[in-house]
Structure 1
Amino acid sequence: MEVMRSQKKASSALTSSNGVSTLTLYRSAPTLEVRLEDFERFAVDRLLVLRGISDGLARGKKPDEMDKLVIDLWKAHMRHPQASEVNNKDIISHFVLRLVYCRSEELRKWFLSMESTLFRYRFRSVNSDVHLSLMTELGIPYKVVSQKEFEDLREQLNLVARSANQPLPTPNGLYKVSFEEVPELVATRKVFIQKGYAYVALNQVVSFVVPHFRSHLSKALVLTNRKWTSMIREQEKDRLTPIVEALATSYLGPDYSQDKEVGEISLKDIDQVARTSFPLCMQHLFNTLRDDHHLKHGGRMQLGLFLKGVGLKLDDALAFWKTEFSQKVGAERFDKEYAYSIRHNYGKEGKRTDYTPYSCQKIILSTPGVGDHHGCPYRHFSEENLRAALGKMGVSSRALEDVIEKARNRHYQLACTLTFEALHASSCDAGINHPNQYFSDSQKILKEKNMSTD
């Protein structure tokens, strides 16, 4: 099937001043056919951009750092072998993810926030001509301030700019809009107001354009959800629906089915590496198993596949689980009821599927019940229990408060990243996205430290 060649009628696209990307308002979905492989691949590439932005915001990056981050993310993930197709990729990926993230309030909220932030920083990179075109397309009423009016108000404009620590306005690039359009600027006293108009400088235009973009997208997501539930999901159940439903929780990194860099771990080393290199979710499961000699299915799957990924061979895995479970259920019952599922995880039973360890995203979204111990401690533990668990791991009191604060604000993977950094005295710029990544990075750091002390 042919990918679209032009999108001018569906939504105007505007080139940024640095030539990095185009800026599109996504006012209406394109009526075209897209190859299935492009449908998914473009969406994954855009998702990498949005998740990178989310991580940057959670880490408290400053506006100038976010500027650079957004440009770098866009360059890294939104390229296309054919330059003429870059804008098409932008539009297709946005509308695919709109389908993906329209399906619940929580998903809509995240997507709306990340897309609005992406638009904000891309908007900052385009010139004034583009600003005016966007304002016109969004239907924002504005007037360009004339030279005479500017001169008449110069003193008042400069006074407001100085008090707000803003650049002094210039005759070119000053606009009048209704003060109701810029409540944020009015509340913070960053604009001069006269006769119901706010006098907005070029560098402030973003403050009233982004809310219009956000409002349009918010309404569009609700409408898309209605179409999805009433029609699209059923119509596309054998083709697009599985892709759409998987993308929101998809893990986009290595699968860690076997950590080739770290190698194998043996039973005699497992307790030591659990203390030094298991993330909190796996340490909790491991310690619970050692103490209670049993885990429910969810815990067995989460820990079992993790151990497989860090290099525990099938025979050692069977011996490990049997040693623990036989203390509670007996060796005979273990062989009858539990050994099969372990062999199954290693691809030795059933469909012979080689199952991969769970990613952070999958673990965070799990719903452990009473008596379960799987899931993400940063999400599922009470604050009191989380503090105790982190203290037991050896996280210092100063770092602990930062971790708790991130968990409280639902930045669970960043909380885990901060835990890693505190315990290893090493930065993790890429962030923790997978328990087996945590283990692999930990082992590398520890081995390097051991080599330097030899």
Structure 2
Amino acid sequence: MEIVRPQSRRNFLSSSSEAVSVPTIPLYRSAPSFEVRLEEFESFAIDRLRVLKGISDGMSRGKKPEEMENLVKDLWKVNMRHQDASEVLNKDIISHFALRLVYCRTEDLRKWFLSMESALFRYRFRLLNAEAQRAVMEEFDLPYRAVSSVEFESIKEKLGQVARSTGQPSPTADAIFYKVPFEEVPELVAGRKVLISQGYAYVAMNQIVSLVATLFRSQLSKTLILTNRKWTSSVREQEKHRLTPIVEAMCASYLGPDYSQSRECADISLKDIDQVAKSSFPLCMRHLFEKLKEDHHLKHGGRMQLGLFLKGVGLNLDDALAFWRAEFSKRVGLEKFEKQYAYGIRHNFGKEGKRTDYSPYSCTKIISSTPGTGDHHGCPYRHFSEENLRAALSRMGVNSRAMEDVIDKARNRHYQLACTLTFEALHGMPCDAGINHPNQYFSDSRKILHSKNPSA
């Protein structure tokens, strides 16, 4: 796959006869030899990333298999469509290889991508009809054949015992089973969902997804290592001025609105900021707000994180200057504030320096920060000790039952989901989209509270 400049075009699967020969789900065994425009490389990758992050959130929430199937179907339909139907397969292939390049670079990135792509493959395979599933199996060139009717009759009773033990109906005469080495279906063996005899597992057609998903995962794991070697040895340096910045930034991409402009429903002023902070600030911003009130000072990281958040929720420049001046002057004095700190506030609003209108930080950026001694910025769900997190959640009013769920998610590094559960516990309503940005938390909170009490 060659990345080309915008004016160039690619030519892949241009005829309908060629498209028919391609399996319903590509196996992504090798990068295709076609040209890709740079903007498509990025936009297609971002669309697929939305799918993978949606799957990650669904899995973290403990959704059931049938719920995950529906989720994957909806995520794919919304994000992977194309205005030209003949380009859908191209988008699928391009987006996978683009993200493979993005996520090959570290062990943690590879582990996440491998897990999410394998889950995506699994649920896409389950959504296929039997004929399409067999076509994918043929693409894997599996050496296994269906068990003969004679062999089936000899083990029918034992197959029925296994089926009944897992709550499934006994297999009928027209059932299809595959005889495979038991080590190739570890998931089914561990769950005692298959009959094992003489080193072979008898896998029903409706269980074959476990076999092909294992093969897909193994294949992808190996190619991620190879991609990383190629990226490190040559591609990164060759593309340092064009592709490399996109690749290195994408894994930390925030995929929602940037909140650089405040929304009407989110506008606040100095007179109500204390009250609103208690009711609608996410924990990361509430902690910074409280520390500012307590110490009358924040280090640079804290000033940036809280300052841009307040800008995004509607605090205008004059009010922002008044807010920070009122707190900092209590510790450093008015003159020092005007000399050392007022410039930074005006700078965030695009009134100094490069005149850039800076955007509030997303959850991804906040989680990835590394606060040092004396710093109060960053994500509390990641950076707080469990004891401090419990105390902070208690002060917010999170009940003990919900708190255990939040702590469990934070302990397992699902920080945004922990924040989402906090939001749901405090507002008594589900947040299906999940929390991805502090300003989204604030905006959604104000909408809910306003619907409950329009005068608030």
Indicate whether the TM-score tops 0.5.
Answer: yes
In the TM superposition, what are the counterparts of 1:113-192 in structure 2 within 5 Å? Answer: 113-170=115-172, 171-192=174-195
Tell me which residue corresponds to 1:407: 410
Task: Please tell me whether residue 5 in structure 1 is matched to residue 12 in structure 2.
Answer: yes
User: Secondary structure at the residue paired with 1:390?
Assistant: helix
Distance 1:420 1:156 in 2: 50
Tell me which residue corresponds to 2:282: 279
Cα offset for 1:401? 0.8
Letter of the 1:449 counterpart? K
Deviates more, 1:139-148 or 1:378-387: 139-148
Distance 2:297 2:21 in 1: 59
Using a 3 Å threshold, how does the CA distance of structure 1 residues 83 and 327 change in structure 2: closer, same or farther?
same
Cα offset for 1:172? 4.3
Letter of the 2:249 counterpart? A
Using a 3 Å threshold, how does the CA distance of structure 1 residues 445 and 421 change in structure 2: closer, same or farther?
same
**Alignment partner for residue 199 of structure 2, among 180, 196, 219?**
196
In the TM superposition, what are the counterparts of 1:323-342 in structure 2 within 5 Å? Answer: 323-342=326-345
User: Secondary structure at the residue paired with 2:256?
Assistant: coil
User: Secondary structure at the residue paired with 2:171?
Assistant: coil
Tell me which residue corresponds to 2:261: 258
Cα offset for 1:129? 3.5
Deviates more, 1:237-246 or 1:62-71: 237-246
Tell me which residue corresponds to 2:323: 320
User: Secondary structure at the residue paired with 1:347?
Assistant: coil
Tell me which residue corresponds to 2:356: 353
CA root-mean-square deviation: 1.9
Cα displacement string for residues 183-226 of structure 1 (whole angstroms, at most 9, x for unaligned residues):
33223332222333221100111112111111111111111111
**Alignment partner for residue 207 of structure 1, among 190, 210, 216?**
210
Tell me which residue corresponds to 1:14: 23
Tell me which residue corresponds to 2:69: 67
Cα displacement string for residues 38-60 of structure 1 (whole angstroms, at most 9, x for unaligned residues):
11110011011001101111111
CA contact (8 A) 1:13 1:25 kept: no
Deviates more, 1:314-323 or 1:164-173: 164-173
Cα offset for 1:10? 12
Deviates more, 1:258-267 or 1:376-385: 258-267
Tell me the percent identity: 72
Letter of the 1:177 counterpart? V
**Alignment partner for residue 35 of structure 1, among 25, 34, 37?**
37
- Per the normalisation by structure 1, the TM-score is 0.94
Letter of the 1:215 counterpart? S
Tell me which residue corresponds to 1:20: none
Point out where structure 2 has 5 or more consecutive residues left out of the alignment: 1-7
Distance 1:353 1:12 in 2: 51
CA contact (8 A) 1:10 1:28 kept: no
User: Secondary structure at the residue paired with 1:205?
Assistant: helix
Deviates more, 1:234-243 or 1:190-199: 190-199
Distance 1:40 1:86 in 2: 16
Cα offset for 1:359? 0.5
Point out where structure 1 has 5 or more consecutive residues left out of the alignment: 16-22
Runs of 4+ aligned structure 1 residues displaced above 4 Å come to 7-12
Distance 1:105 1:236 in 2: 22
Cα offset for 1:12? 7.3
Task: Please tell me whether residue 111 in structure 1 is matched to residue 113 in structure 2.
Answer: yes
Cα offset for 1:79? 0.5
Distance 1:263 1:74 in 2: 32
Cα offset for 1:14? 2.3
CA contact (8 A) 1:11 1:27 kept: no
